[in-house]
Structure 1
Amino acid sequence: MASTVRVQAPIGQRALFITTLAVPLTGWTVHAVSLHRKLSAARRDPLTGLLGRDGFTAKARQITDRHGDHALVGIVDLDHFKQINDGPGGHAAGDRVLAATAQRLTAWAGSRGAVGRLGGDEFAFAVRIGPARRELRLARLTQLLAQPVQVDDGALVDVAASVGAACPDVLGTRDLSLLQRAADAAMYTGKHTGRAVLAGPQHATVPSINGRRAGRPGTHTLGRAA
């Protein structure tokens, strides 16, 4: 009997020791998972659910690094958005248009693309599209973004967007900031024309301030429509 007691005691002590360790480890695991979820949520725009500037930049760089000349980086700017905000529907209508634009961009980019809201009515995307399909896909995007949006009172709001895009094989660089700058300049080249513009070498030399086209009026506030 005594030998049996000597065998069981160490086993019980080990079980107690393991249990004692498991409790704080479980607590830390729960805390880590909760913290990860909070950090992930913080990377999202609260209005549209899109990636914020930092989250988009990280994912877009992965796409350009991985797909090289088959990557396409773009900037989207809603046309006459202030008129929507100042119209009968006010900011609620503006928010609805922003949310609809985000949904359309996400559907167009697909699950492997990156779509972000940079601020106000400005969006960005990074996708894998081969050279032969670029023009067709960009034309489809402008058509998709130009569809009227139904707001909360059931009324339809006319919308339009200007789109500029840039790709590494044309500009000779995979640097995301340079691609975005050229896409931004290309977007303003085609502003209010209803067509997307693919950046050429001339768009990469447009003067910039903090990486954006000089004189650009945009906003950098996430959340409510500007």
Structure 2
Amino acid sequence: MSRSLQPVPGYAAVLLSLLPVGLVFGLHLMAITVLADVPAAASLSIQAANWMLTAAIVLGFWGAARMRGQVHDLRSKLAQALTDPVTGLAVRRVAEDAIVAAGAEATLTVAVADVDGLHDINRGPGGYATGDHYLAEAGRRLCQACAGDGLVARLGGDEFVLVTRRAPTDLAASLTAAFAVPAAVPTGAGPLEVSVGICRLPGGDPHHLLGCADLAMLTAKKRRTGIEIYDPDRDGLPLPPGIRPITRRRCGH
């Protein structure tokens, strides 16, 4: 289990809260000593001031080191939350944020890919472990097709998304080449088939772009064509946010 962030211990919090007071007190004693010109008091005041200053430096370094550790833990937890544990890819939120960050002035190509037959793979030899191998391999093939020019994320279940600025036909050709070779899994080698829908639209609205690509993917799955580029006249328009379809038009699972 990962270590959770712990609050600063009570005694340390008290010392840190008294630190400014002690520092001011020490400097005040030094000032009094200089003004009064009392040798005996000078020695005592300087020692007290030195102790306060030393304590301030030590506690300052301790507090800074502890804060750095907490920041590191927080960053590690955030990275884990934004990474899919099965494929090592980014999660849906990262892809949506990238689409929003691009803005409406940018034209994006978004592809939604669905691994065909994953339900049967999970029920076959090796069970869900084999299915996870297929998912990880699908993610690797998508990254290969992306060629470092875009973002690949797992939407959840058997679906992935690829966000790039490449032309849809160029991306389709890369995807076809990437998935041409059978997948090697612990139970043997077998075809890794995906249904992909691609759309090219202005950025800024992840719901609309993902919805259009998803509709094209459903057409590809229904027609068993592998890849389809979004056509609003053929595929329709995505439902408004918050409205779920009555039935999920899946074919070929």
Q: Deviations over 1:115-150 (max 9, x none)?
A: 111111111111121xxx430221221331342111
What one-letter code is carried by the residue in structure 2 that aligns with 1:99?
A
> Of 206, 211, 219, which residue of structure 2 is paired with 1:181?
211
State yes or no: 1:125 paired with 2:157.
no
Provide the C-alpha distance between the structure 2 equivalents of 1:28 and 1:159, rounded to a whole number of angstroms. Answer: 47
Native 8 Å contact 1:208 1:214 kept in 2? no
Give 3-state SS (helix, strand or coil) of 1:34's partner.
helix
RMSD: 3.0
Aligned pairs for 1:44-193 (under 5 A) are 44-62=83-101, 64-65=102-103, 68-69=106-107, 71-111=108-148, 113-129=150-166, 133-153=167-187, 155-168=188-201, 174-191=204-221, 193=224
Displacement, 1:210? 3.7
Tell which has more relative contact order, 1 or 2 (C-alpha 8 A, sep 6+). 1
Contact 1:185 1:213 in 2 (8 A): no
Please give the alpha-carbon distance, in whole angstroms, between the structure 1 residues aligned to 2:246 and 2:68.
47
Identity of aligned residues (%): 28
SS at match of 2:161: strand
Instruction: For 2:194, give the aligned amino acid.
Output: A
CA shift digits 1:152-206 (9 cap, x unpaired): 14x111121111111225xxx6412101101100111111534422213334525
Gap regions ≥5 residues in structure 1? 219-226
Listed one character per residue, the Cα deviations across residues 48-99 of structure 1 (whole Å, up to 9, x for unaligned) are 111122233223433x328712x21111001122222222332222111111
- Are the structure 2 counterparts of residues 54 and 24 from structure 1 closer, same or farther at C-alpha, using a change threshold of 3 Å? same
CA–CA distance in structure 1, aligned partners of residues 118 and 180 of structure 2:
13
Distance 1:213 1:147, change over 3 A: farther
Mean Cα displacement is larger for which, 8-17 or 90-99? 8-17
Letter in 2 for 1:193: R
The structure whose Rg is larger is: 2
User: What CA distance in whole angstroms lies between the structure 1 residues aligned with 2:105 and 2:172?
Assistant: 18
Question: SS where residue 178 of structure 1 aligns?
Answer: helix
SS in 2 for 1:163: strand
State whether residues 208 and 238 of structure 2, in contact with CA within 8 Å, keep that contact through their aligned partners in structure 1: no
1: CA distance, partners of 2:243 / 2:112 = 13
Matched positions, count: 209
